[in-house]
Amino acid sequence: MQAQRKRWKTVIVASLMIILIFTSLSYATGGKRVKKILQAWYGTVNIIYNGQNMTAQFEPFIVDGTTYVPLRTMSTIFNKNVGWNATTNTATVTDKPTESFDYLRQQIIIKDAEISDLKKKIEDLEEELDGRKKGSGSIRDLEKDLQDEYGKYEKIDFDITLKGDRKDIDVKIEVDLGKSKYRDRWDDLSNRKIENYIEDICDDILYEFPDANIEGYIRDTDEREDLISFYTTSKGKVVIEDEDRDRDTSLRDLEKDLDDTYYDYFRDITLEIKLKGDSRDVEYTVNIDYNKYKKEWDKLSDKDIKKLMSNIYDDIEYEWSKADITGYVYDKYGKGELAEYYRSSSGKESFYRD
């Protein structure tokens, strides 16, 4: 009985001390500083952590049904950092770095580096695979294919040789113009046909080796002189340089080339291309038998006819870049002018159809 009274006495004394302590504290509530008297109960709470009774290290108490323990003590138990800002009356709790935490973080860094390295290897392999798909053969295989495809052009025999690697390829195209028939045929070739020949060869090389830089020339083995030199730009455009060779295309040669190219431009209508003038002033006419092809001609749209005349204009301009060019479509048996096409100095197109 005395022991029980002693315990309650202790509790009462402790409670009075708590009341005195809390009455000396103040805190902000809704922006106002107030004092509050609390009644605390001790001796009724035990704290067990991982099977160990921690109550002896600190004494928890109960206020209004809520159990209170020191924040710093509990933070120590759970391995946390505690900070206190006396100016703002703010307590902060943060995690303490542990060996396992540092280890995991280091592993993440290592794994990220490994993933980045693997991604780079995948990209390299994909690029290599793509390159193999586009250029599965060797330089020698490509040389043989080009010889088979382009060894004879316009009834002239050429010998094509490749040197280099996938990045830099030299192209040597040799022709013996000592043979009179080859000399005549070579001289009859227009600029456009020679350039088409070279561009086709370069296109085939770039299809197999898309990153290649190409340089080459056409050489007359009889005179031992270069006739044409060429190279490709970084964008794959073929640049052709004439080596002191007179390539002035005559009006009749160009007329023949255009007629050969466009006589069957419209499948159901036969066209005839005629030129007159010179390298400074050219007039071209597209002649048709209107009585024979009236139905087919009338079905053509303005866009179709304008496209034909624009293409012919481009081919003439390619040969004579400084020429003033005008084009017409005529009925060669009496109807007269069917269409007209020209461009201003600024490149603006003008098209008229009767």
Judge whether 353 and 338 are in contact, CB under 8 Å.
Answer: yes
Residue 334 has pLDDT above 90, yes or no: no
Q: In what order do the strands lie in the sheet with 336-343?
A: 272-277, 281-288, 324-331, 336-343, 349-353
- Alpha-carbon distance of 82 to 215, in angstroms, equals 74
Instruction: State pLDDT tens for residues 195-248.
Output: 899 999 999 999 999 989 999 999 988 888 888 889 988 778 888 876 444 344
Residue-level pLDDT at 25: 42
Average pLDDT, the chain: 80
Last residue of a domain, one of 216, 242, 268: 242
Range of the domain at 41: 2-85
Judge whether 182 and 174 are in contact, CB under 8 Å.
Answer: no
> What does each C-alpha distance from 196 to 76, 117, 122, 126 come to in angstroms?
85, 45, 39, 33
Average pLDDT on 48-55 reads 76
Q: What is the dihedral of CA 317, 318, 322, 325, to 10 degrees?
A: -10
Tokens representing residue 230 in the block? 């060429």
Question: Model's pTM, two decimal places?
Answer: 0.37
Residues 211 and 172 in one domain: yes
Bridge partners for 324 per DSSP: 281
- Alpha-carbon distance of 186 to 261, in angstroms, equals 19
Residue 292 counted as domain residue: yes
Judge whether 225 and 242 are in contact, CB under 8 Å.
Answer: no
Residue 279 counted as domain residue: yes
Instruction: State pLDDT tens for residues 116-160.
Output: 888 888 887 776 666 555 444 688 999 999 999 999 999 999 999
Q: What percent of the chain has pLDDT over 90?
A: 32
pLDDT band at 50 (very low <50, low <70, confident <90, very high): confident
Residues 109 and 175 in one domain: no
Q: What percent of the chain has pLDDT over 70?
A: 82
Last residue of a domain, one of 212, 242, 272: 242
Residue 113 counted as domain residue: yes
Q: Residue 56 half-sphere exposure, CB side, CA atoms within 13 Å?
A: 2
- Alpha-carbon distance of 91 to 107, in angstroms, equals 33
Instruction: State pLDDT tens for residues 254-304.
Output: 888 899 999 999 989 999 999 988 777 889 999 999 999 999 999 999 999
Q: State the CATH number of the domain containing residue 279.
A: 3.30.70
Residues 66 and 107 in one domain: no
Residue 92 counted as domain residue: no
Residue 20 has pLDDT above 60, yes or no: no
Residues 196 and 261 in one domain: no
Residue-level pLDDT at 27: 43
Residue-level pLDDT at 17: 46
Residues 123 and 185 in one domain: no
Work out whether the CA dihedral 67, 73, 76, 77 comes out positive or negative. negative
Residues 275 and 348 in one domain: yes
Residues 6+ apart with CB under 8 A from 139: 162, 163, 164, 165, 166, 169
Residue 1 has pLDDT above 70, yes or no: no
- Count up the domains in the chain and report the number: 4
Residues 166 and 129 in one domain: no
Last residue of a domain, one of 242, 271, 302: 242
- Alpha-carbon distance of 206 to 233, in angstroms, equals 12
